[in-house]
Amino acid sequence: MVRTRGTKAIIAVVCAFTFAVSAAACSSSSSDSGKATASDVGVSETAIKIGVGVSDLDGLRAQGLALAPGLTTGNLAKRVSSYFDDWNAAGGINGRTVEPVIITWDPVKPATQEKMCADATIDNQLFAIIVPSGLNQKTIQCIVDGGVPTFFGDVGTDASFATGNLVTISPSVEKMAAAGTQATVDGGTIPKGATVGILAGNGPEALSGTAASKAILEKAGYKVTAVNVNSLQGDTGVMSTESGAAVNTFKAGGATHVMVLLQFTGSGGFWNALPGTGITTTILDTASSNCTAYGASRVPASAIGSTCITVFGDSVTSKGALRTETAFEKECRDHFDAMSAKTNDFPSKSYPGVPSGDTIKLADGTVLSSDYAPNDCTLTNIVKLGLEGAGKNPTRTSFLAAVRGLGEVPVALASDGKGSLAADKSFVADWVHADVLTAASDTTPKNATGTYNGCPVTKNCWVPASDTWSPIKL
């Protein structure tokens, strides 16, 4: 399933030929037979403390965002911590148990995200942290600046990657914005010389993503009108109002196409104001859940037909049939179902394409339950392999060296199932493709291929434009 052979050898070679790896890392890679020690922050003789970062979604519920009852702090946390339970039951990692430390934030209260950084970097003495999705880039930057190895399921920024402490599934905001914009330009759907709008937030990552998209558009001869709404305060109502007003700005500027970098939780106003304008759209996968089943099920109908260039995958093929899962994806699903069954989280086993935390009742009475959590599965597998390769007395340095020495790794529901890590590559995905937002509802009939207008369930979904994936160009 994964190539792990040679990890320690890779570290040994690095130790022999460069000063890029610390003495502690070299020591731990070559002295696994010694006594277990408290070798680094968060490591005792018997345990390793790993943070699990999850969003407390009650704030979004209070602002009127429809969220599934199954999306609770406890359920989100155990999507990661349940793997730790399995490892510990099997004897731990190199003789140590892995202790989860659950850390939360409220997406609509910036102060809680500042506390999140303190919890991760100072208050809990963590060895590393896993954040499957959703945390803003300012807080991610704060955590990696604090020296904590961070495994994040969404995009990072070039600045965060530069610390050497960040590992993600997707490339940086800047790279994804550039890739999506270039693909749109190359597709020839926007007339040459036209005015193109860019809709984004005003956080540092959104501004850098805007700049990357703008540079490609202007190089290709397009005029650009950019609107950056107030996303720093975390108020989805403000973002929605400002994104709706942005439509008038784009119209006044003569824009015929808009690149949307704003997360779906704040772009509702834009989509509601869009019908009748003649403006077409491309969603760039630079914000949490933008091009996932969950995001597709939450955006208004006016987004239907939008294209997204993304590393994340889908449960269907471009021909409108359910996609065959990889062996790793089946393992992820089996784990999720076993975890959920212990506490009866859902009325049935997980089903492909059901948005996270949801249950869906079909016209014939069949109940379909939340799909498994692919980011959580992918990241915990990488962390486990890294811990195993970091030696009996791991340090953060030896751990990150082991992670980046893994080479090929499996990816669930992303990058065509295949990814890789290397000394100069701290994001997992190797492949991108184009998705098209497709309509499905409770009244959409099931077709002969077992899908609903190409969607796996009766919810709007992303359908691949083709079954071809393209390599990520660094």
Structure pTM?
Answer: 0.89
**Quick check: 30 pLDDT over 50?**
no
Tell me the Cα Rg of the chain. 22
In the predicted model, what is the mean pLDDT of residues 253-261?
Answer: 97
Neighbours of 87 (CB within 10 A): 18
Q: Which of 102-111, 301-310, 356-365, 445-454 comes out lowest in average pLDDT? A: 102-111
Looking at 255, 284, 313, the residue that finishes a domain is 284
Q: Is residue 238 assigned to a domain?
A: yes
Report how far residue 59's alpha carbon sits from residue 218's, in angstroms, rounded to the nearest whole number: 39
- Token pair of 224 as six digits: 């650009």
Average pLDDT over residues 243-248: 98
Question: Domain for residue 269, yes or no?
Answer: yes
Task: Reply yes or no on whether the pLDDT at 465 is more than 90.
Answer: yes
What tokens appear for 255 in the block?
Answer: 């824009």
Q: Is there a domain that residue 255 lies in?
A: yes
Same domain, 207 and 259: yes
State the burial class of residue 18 (Cβ atoms within 10 Å of its Cβ: 0-12, 13-18, 19+).
exposed
pLDDT band at 101; cut points 50, 70, 90:
very high
Task: Please identify, among 284, 306, 341, the residue that sits at the C-terminal boundary of a domain.
Answer: 284
* CA atoms 96, 408, 463, 327: torsion sign: negative
Q: What is the residue range of 195's domain?
A: 173-284
**Does 280 share its domain with 332?**
no
Lateral strand order in the sheet of 166-168: 97-105, 47-55, 128-131, 150-152, 166-168
For residues 339 and 270, membership in a common domain is answered with: no
Q: What is the pLDDT of residues 140-192, one digit of tens each?
A: 999 999 999 999 999 999 999 999 999 999 999 999 999 999 999 999 989 99
d(CA 228, CA 7): 44
Residue that is last in its domain, among 340, 373, 406: 373
Residues 267 and 361 in one domain: no
Measure the CA–CA gap between 246 and 240, rounded to whole angstroms: 10
Distance CA 383, CA 36 (A): 20
Residue 113: pLDDT band by 50, 70, 90 thresholds?
confident
Q: pLDDT of 328-379, one tens digit each?
A: 999 999 999 999 999 999 999 999 999 989 999 998 999 999 999 999 999 9
pLDDT at position 78 is: 95
Average pLDDT over residues 272-298: 91
| Nearest of 308, 309, 259 to residue 280 by alpha carbon | 259
- Examine residue 395 and state whether it is found in any structural domain, yes or no: no
Encode burial over 152-171: b for 16+ CB neighbours within 10 A, e otherwise.
Answer: bbbbbbebbbebbbbbbbbb
Residues 262 and 182 in one domain: yes
pLDDT for 64 equals: 67
User: Cα(430)–Cα(101) distance, rounded to whole angstroms?
Assistant: 31
Q: Three-state SS for 396?
A: helix
- Taking residues 204-208, report their average pLDDT: 91
Please check whether residue 449 lies inside any domain of the structure: no
Judge whether 123 lies within some domain.
Answer: no
**Structural domains of the chain, count:** 2
What is the per-residue pLDDT across 43-78, written as a single tens digit (0 to 9) for each?
Answer: 999 999 999 999 887 766 676 666 677 778 888 999
User: Is pLDDT of 251 > 90?
Assistant: yes
Q: How confident is the model at residue 474 (pLDDT cuts 50, 70, 90)?
A: low
- 414, part of any domain: no
More confident of the two residues 184 and 114: 184
Domain membership flag for residue 167: no
User: What is the CATH classification number for the domain harbouring 257?
Assistant: 3.40.50.2300
